Amino acid sequence: MASNSSSSFGLIFQLGIIIIFLFCSSGAEADDISRASTNSLNSISCNNPYRLVKVKSWVDGDEDKTLSGISAAFGSLLPTQPENGSKLPAVFSKPLNGCTSSSSKLSGSIVLAFRGDCDFTTKAEVAQDGGAAGLLIINDEEDLLEMGCSEKDTNLNITIPVVMISKSGGEALNKSISDGYRVELLLYSPNRPIVDFSVVFLWLMAVGTLVCASLWSEFTASEQTDERYNELSPKESSNDAKEEMEKEIISINIKSAIIFVISASTFLVLLYFFMSTWFVWVLIVLFCIGAVEGMHSCIVSLILSKCKNCGRKTVNLPLLGEVSILSLVILLICLGFAIFWAVNRKASYSWIGQDILGICLMITVLQLAQLPNLKVATVLLCCAFLYDIFWVFLSPYIFHDSVMIVVARGDKAGGESIPMLLRVPRFFDPWGGYDMIGFGDILFPGLLVSFAYRFDKAKKKTVRNGYFLWLAIGYGVGLLFTYLGLYLMDGHGQPALLYLVPCTLGLCVVLGLVRGELKELWSYDVDSTSPVSTQPHLSSGEV
């Protein structure tokens, strides 16, 4: 950041991070709470859907942990509201496997039994015969197993709810009971809300980032351009600074557009096969480095747009030489912010820091990377369109998993998810979780929307007869279609660009055809005199 070469390196580094991590999954979690039973026996008594269950516990009358479980394909269905359930005492069966009649009294209680030694249906029948009101089976590992029926279970008559919980959950209950405490349990299976307000907030954040990035040059007045690009070396001339600014803008061409998507696919496959906790940490470090530079650029440009002389005071530092005090202070603040987020990334509030860092990074990248015309935009967005659909919908036929969803969730890294996405917690969802949108879902359409704004400005178009406003609206509508798709698909991951590309690129093509400007949009080049154009040519610096 103290020289031209380091500035160019920062540009390439930021752009490289974003293009490689094109995880375009908005709400990629496949954590729907209900799944149809795969029972092949066609038995009415063993055809319940597998549903996630909440196990609320009390220890000596004081509310304790709420555990998660999964219901069986047999037995009675649980209420969706806790008020409709019953708080009952928990009792371990004797023997602990629950395969034979218990020597302890089970009547009117929820029986706890360990997995193993006999079928799940046998345990349920034994508990029911003993007068139990429910059965809680403790798994021998952390995963929750779907409990179905065997071929011999053709005439079941199980009328109590049967639920499996994880090994750690069972150990917690076992400890309380072994210590002589009275443990009571309440079982229920709440539904997700049809619409969670976190989706609205995420929609506003995504659309706001795209619009803000397109209009950033208006927010940071041009009169501070010299200061922004000369803040660390005040003795350079303003002409040198302007030349450096122009050098820093990367104009994407058709070849680079194709290479970007191929590189993203290659890296996605590598992550799928080799992703681990340490690999995620590498991504976190890279994300922090790029986000710090992006956040620094955004804050400095905003301050200098309001206070032109704020960057004049300098200090001499070893190796760096003469450095702007303003730039140095902001850099240290941004660095501290990123480190604090990385250390506390698993905290309940960490999504705020991740979103701030991500938004700053995307705004900066959309200032540095530009599409020259609609032809390049069409190649890039169509390649990304196919990329998104393939890695979400078609990859399971090759890899037996939706590669993009597995990588985005961090399934192969102990649940440690990648940070290259915006996320908002589901505040009103009893099951919690996050609604997410990948950076690629904002950056790909954002490149086209930013181009539309530059085109409108160069051609002196008004808001109504331009392209920027309509493409921004189209992006918002496309995002709404994405969330509608998530709802209709019961929460399964959706390739957002399946909806966003037609609503932005498709809309731009249609408007260009209707207005007779498609040819000009297709071959537009701000650096050359177009025979089609009737407006005065503007330099890249003015655009």
- Give the catalytic positions in this structure: 388, 441
Q: φ and ψ at 116, to 5 degrees?
A: 120, 165
Q: Could you tell me which residues come within 8 angstroms of residue 180 by beta carbon, excluding any fewer than 6 positions away?
A: none
Nearest residue to 19 (alpha-carbon basis) of 420, 471, 482: 420
Instruction: List b or e across 304-341, with b for residues whose CB sees 16 or more CB atoms inside 10 angstroms.
Output: bbeeeebbeebeeeeeeeebbebbbebbeebeebbeeb
**In whole angstroms, what is the distance from residue 488 CA to residue 492 CA?**
9
With beta carbons less than 8 A apart as the criterion, state whether 437 and 496 touch. yes
Burial class, 390, CB count within 10 angstroms (exposed 0-12 / middle 13-18 / buried 19+): middle
Orientation angle between helical segments 350-368 and 4-20, nearest 10 degrees? 120
Say how far apart CA 357 and CA 354 lie, in whole Å.
Answer: 5
- Of 163, 169, 124, 127, the closest CA to residue 146 belongs to 163
Q: Which amino acid is at 241?
A: A
Going 286 to 287 to 292 to 294, the CA torsion angle's sign is positive
Q: Which residue has the tokens 């620094």?
A: 296
Extract the tokens encoding 442: 């904002």
